[in-house]
């Protein structure tokens, strides 16, 4: 999308993501629920509600959803509740965001309640900020197999779990790690270490 609109041949400098300091790893990993939590909001837009400034973006990606994987998890939440606890929320235009229940969730508490989490990427494979927050809590991040994570040092099976944006694959990986606690706990430790080192304003 960037290459389509800009003729830029120089290097890029990627700034690290910063998680607020109140996100802490305080609950023993073995005492957490052995499944994943899914966080993040999504928006479904029709022709009338797509803002002019974003129209070319949605046409480029050929979708009217800000995060398709969040929507898919949301639509299948009852069927998959033994694997994923869904806290995804739909953004409705003209609503008062401050009154949405989603903003009342204590994500620090939730990330310490579960062993794994998903914070589905948005258009253009842009990470949701909660991926950094969850890792700071020692919760194992299940994220897209993409350079947006590889470029900052995330390695599949070492400090996060990757997927190809397919819900069935995500479910299979959750099932695998539900039965392989020692591997999952190792990923949790490595995940927390890199998050604690890099996901802060000093770094």
> Taking a C-beta distance cutoff of 8 angstroms, is the pair 192, 136 a contact?
yes
Whole-prediction pTM: 0.91
pLDDT in tens, 34-66: 999 999 988 887 766 666 667 777 888 888 888
Instruction: Show the low-confidence residues of the chain (pLDDT under 70).
Output: 47-53, 93-102
* pLDDT given at position 35: 97
* pLDDT given at position 88: 92
Q: Is 98 exposed, middle or buried (0-12, 13-18, 19+ CB in 10 A)?
A: exposed
Token reading at 159: 């400090």
Ordered DSSP codes for the chain: -HHHH----S---PPPP---TT----S-GGGSEEEEEE--EE-B--TTTS-HHHHHHHHHHT-SBS-HHHHHHHHTTTTTTTTEEE--EE--TTS-GGG-GGGGS-HHHHHHHEEEEE---BTTTBPPTHHHHHHHTTPEEEEESSHHHHTTT--BTTTBEEE-S-HHHHHHHHHHHHS-HHHHHHHHHHHHHHHHHHSSS--
pLDDT in tens, 20-39: 989 999 999 999 999 999 99
161-166: long-range contacts, CB 8 A cutoff, minimum separation 24: 161/116, 161/187, 165/68, 165/69, 165/121
* pLDDT given at position 66: 85
* pLDDT given at position 49: 62
* pLDDT given at position 1: 86
> Taking a C-beta distance cutoff of 8 angstroms, is the pair 65, 111 a contact?
no
* pLDDT given at position 53: 64
Q: How far is CA 185 from CA 81, 117, 157, in A?
A: 22, 14, 11
């Amino acid at each position: 999308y960037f290459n389509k609109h800009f003729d830029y041949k120089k290097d890029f400098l990627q700034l690290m993501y910063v998680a607020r300091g109140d996100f802490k790893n305080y609950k023993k990993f073995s005492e957490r629920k052995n499944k994943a939590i899914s966080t993040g909001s999504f928006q479904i837009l029709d022709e009338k509600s797509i803002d002019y400034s974003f129209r070319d973006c949605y046409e480029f990606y050929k979708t009217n959803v800000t995060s398709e994987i969040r929507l898919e998890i949301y639509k299948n939440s009852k069927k998959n509740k033994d694997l994923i606890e869904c806290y995804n929320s739909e953004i409705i235009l003209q609503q008062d965001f401050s009154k949405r229940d989603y903003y009342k969730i204590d994500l620090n508490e939730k990330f310490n309640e579960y062993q794994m989490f998903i914070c589905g990427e948005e258009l253009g494979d842009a990470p949701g900020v909660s991926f950094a927050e969850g890792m700071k809590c020692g919760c194992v991040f299940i994220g897209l197999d993409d350079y947006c994570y590889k470029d900052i040092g995330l390695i599949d099976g070492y400090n996060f779990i990757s997927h190809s944006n397919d819900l069935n694959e995500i479910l299979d990986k959750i099932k695998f790690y539900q039965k392989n606690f020692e591997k999952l706990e190792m990923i949790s430790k490595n995940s927390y270490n890199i998050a604690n080192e890099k996901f802060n304003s000093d770094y």
